[in-house]
Structure formats: C-alpha cells, structure tokens
Chains A and B, each alone.
Chain A
Amino acid sequence: MRRIALFLALTAASTTTLCAAQESPFFVTYTHHMEEPGNLEVETSSTMGIPRSGQRFYTAPYLELEYGVTTQWTSELYLESSSVWGDSTVFTGWRFENRYKPFRREHWINPVLYLEYESVNEASRIQKEIEGSGPDLTSSNRELRGEHAHELETKLILSSDFRDWNISENFIATKNLSEPEGVEFGYAFGVTRPLATLASGGHCRLCRENFIAGVEMYGGLGSTLGFSPHGSAHYIAPVVSWAMSDNSSLRLSTGFGLTDQSNPVLIRFGYSYELAGFGSRISRLFGGKR
C-alpha cells in the first residue's frame, strides 16, 4: 500500500508543471495569501536554538506539505522532530492545519480563520508559534517525549497589502485537550516588502525582484490561568526569502530572544518546492476530469 502511494505521488510529481514560488519569508506569521488551488508545496525547514547557560543546542527539522484545496481553503500536514546536542533525536509528532479565507475579494484587512490539530509531545521545538510560556528548553528529550499532548489551536489571521507592503497580525489561542492547562495565548505579527517591484525581462536568479525581506515578532501571552506576556519567550526576527527558481524558494530568519525564557538566537531556514496542478494529476490517475 505504501509503495502504491509512493508511486502515485512520484508519478503525479513528475508530470506536474513548474509554478512560481513567491513565498512569504515569514516562518511564524501567516498572511492571507493562500496556496493556489490544486498546487502542492513541499517544504523542509529547521529551527535551531543557540542555548543560554544550562540549555543545550538543538535543531528541530520539520516537513510541511501544503495543499490548496480551493482558492479560499488551504490544508497543511506537518511531521516534526527534534535533535538536542548531547541528548537524543526524537520524532515529536504531527500537526494538521486548515486555513479558510471567508471573503472572496481583497479588502483593507483580510481575515483568515485557522484551525489546527496537534498530536505532539513536549519535546517539540519547531516553534511554529509560541503560546503560553513557550517550550521547555531545559529538560531532556527522555523526560519530555513521554508527555504527549493533543492540542487544538486556533488563530485569527489579519493581513493587509498596502502598496507593496504586507502587514499581518496573528492572534493565537490553544487548548491542550490532554492536560488542564486552560487556554494558552500567543501572538505574531510582521511586515514584508519585495526588494524590487518591477520584473525584469530576462531570467535572473540573484536580481532584487526575487527577494522579499521583512521582520516578524512573536511570543507567548500566558494562559487563562495567568494572562501575561511576562515569563514567556518573545522573539524579533529579520526574515528574507529568495525565489531560487520558478518553483523553489529558500527562506532564512535569525530571531533574537527578548526575554530570559527565549533562546538568545533562533535560526530558521526552509526550502520549498512547489508542484503546480498536483491535485488534477492525481485526479486524472483515478479517471477524474479535473
């Protein structure tokens, strides 16, 4: 069964066409721009934390499969892991998220509703968002991997395109269904702009039009048991994305921790590859007409 699934995925991937990978450089903040319908984006990313004293260096790689179900609905599946220097490497779980854009037209402020189910353990360090007081950066993987959490996460995404700037704000509320932790809160906001707004006629890789730069800020806001930005991790992070080719892009972020609960530096990088028309190819394999 796995072989058949792999064969179908490879066949569809080999027959899909290239598609532009003009990716937002944000790692945490979401904008209102959805995945194009029928396209599949495969992304591999990693979060690396430079430790404070008493902490250990870690890297948390994750795989992200993002699919445009319709123009207003995007689904994503995450598989994540964590590797702590001098400790161990563990699989930390999976997440399944859905984003829905209720309005069909562009507005000054474009809301997107976000719902995610997480089946992760406490060793998770990818920090796709920070809620509550942030991840435990001092305990060992052995202690943390046994604490499994089923979480339901919601976000209200507000995003605006003003001239060539994108300004986005995310408000996060997470409920751990496994533990009585109350509802945890977090935030993320950011701003980006392409380095050039006019496309040149020729093909170029390193020209400014292929780069988008910006800055994002994110952190936890405590929970219903104690709502406060204090005692949580907060970061401010310059971000940049580079459209390396028509279908692939690279993103980089260096986050600076603003509190004692944060890592001093959080480095993130990601590589994404976009497969256009993936859904219709899969559909045709089964005799569909899409």
Chain B
Amino acid sequence: MRFSVLTLVVGASLFGLGQNPSYQLDPQWRAPAPANARSNPLADKPDAAAGGKKLFLRHCAECHGNDGTGLTTKHSADLHLAIVQEQSDGTLFWKITNGNAGKGMPSFSKLPELQRWQLVLFIRTLKEAGPAAADPAK
C-alpha cells in the first residue's frame, strides 16, 4: 500500500516537472465560430490516432515534447491541461492549421486535412493516457 502511494506521489511529481505550468492561452488566438463548430471526420475511427501519434512525434514534439507536456523554454502548451482539452475539435484543428505567428507556433496547413484531424484525435488521447502517451521511450 505504502509502495503504491509512494509510486503515485513520485509519478505525480514527475508529471508536474514535465509540464509547462506557466502556459496560458493567448487571448488573441481565437478560432472563428464556424471553425469552432467543425467536428472531427475521424471521430468514429479511433485507430487513426496511431497515425496522429506518428505525426505528433514528427511535427509537434520539437516544441511540445515527446509526451505533449510542453516545454517552458519554448512557451509551448502542455496539451494535457484542461484549458487545452476543453477546446473543441474544430478549435484545435483551426489552431494547427493557422498556427500562432506572434507566439512562434508555425502553421501546419502543409499537412493534408485528414492528417491534421489525426493530430486532433491524438491530442484527445493525451487527456486520458497521461504524459507517457506519446513518448516513444515509454
């Protein structure tokens, strides 16, 4: 029992260390209403999240970390945080597509639409799986 509690505490601490707790939403970075309302065409294909993970490690991990917890040096979002996960699929898709030039987030419109939706699908899995979801080392 003690071991389990200790593991939980250490695990939670490590989780906390990996995060970018200073991350705050940019109030200027808002998707228009029609974009917010878009739904993920791959929502009923959870298997596509595996491709999303591969794309995440290729395109996003440089700034958001392999586990998606963000990097303080890059001021990048911890994608596990509720302020990220509470956003609609359409909003996340719009943000991936347009980027946030003022804050250093590039546009990923060069990726095909379905691949950007795969990224959204994968970001959703981070909510449930915790920081080890994307990290290939774990």
* A interface residues (Cβ-Cβ under 8 A, vs B): 17, 19-20, 22, 24, 31, 33-34, 36-37, 68, 70-72, 104-106, 161, 163-164, 166, 194, 197-203, 209, 246, 276-277, 280, 289-290
Contact = CB atoms under 8 A, between A and B. Distances in A.
20 contacts: A20-B58, A33-B110, A36-B106, A37-B104, A70-B101, A71-B101, A71-B105, A72-B101, A104-B98, A104-B99, A105-B98, A161-B109, A164-B114, A198-B112, A198-B118, A201-B50, A201-B51, A202-B54, A246-B58, A276-B62
Main secondary structure of the interface of A (DSSP, over half): loop
Nearest to B103: A71
Given A71-B106, A72-B101, A106-B109, A289 B62 contact: no
Nearest to B99: A71
A246 B52 CA distance: 14
Contacts, number: 82
B102 interface: yes
A268 B113 CA distance: 29
Contacts of A33: 107, 109-110
Main secondary structure of the interface of B (DSSP, over half): helix
B111 A22 contact: yes
Contacts of A20: 58-59
A203 B54 contact: yes
Interface string B115-132: 100100000000000000
Interface of B: 47-48, 50-55, 57-59, 61-62, 73, 97-102, 104-107, 109-115, 118
A246 B55 CA distance: 10
Given A106-B97, A166-B110, 14 more contacts: A17-B62, A19-B59, A31-B110, A36-B106, A163-B113, A164-B112, A164-B114, A197-B114, A198-B51, A199-B54, A201-B51, A203-B54, A246-B58, A290-B73
B106 A201 contact: no
A107 B131 CA distance: 34
Contacts of B53: 201
A70 B105 CA distance: 9
A200 B73 CA distance: 31
A2 to B, nearest CB: 30
B106 A199 contact: no
B110 A22 contact: yes
B34 to A, nearest CB: 14
Q: Interface centre among B51, B106, B115, by most A CB within 10 Å? A: B106
Nearest to B117: A198
B82 to A, nearest CB: 26
Contacts of A22: 110-111
A24 B109 CA distance: 12
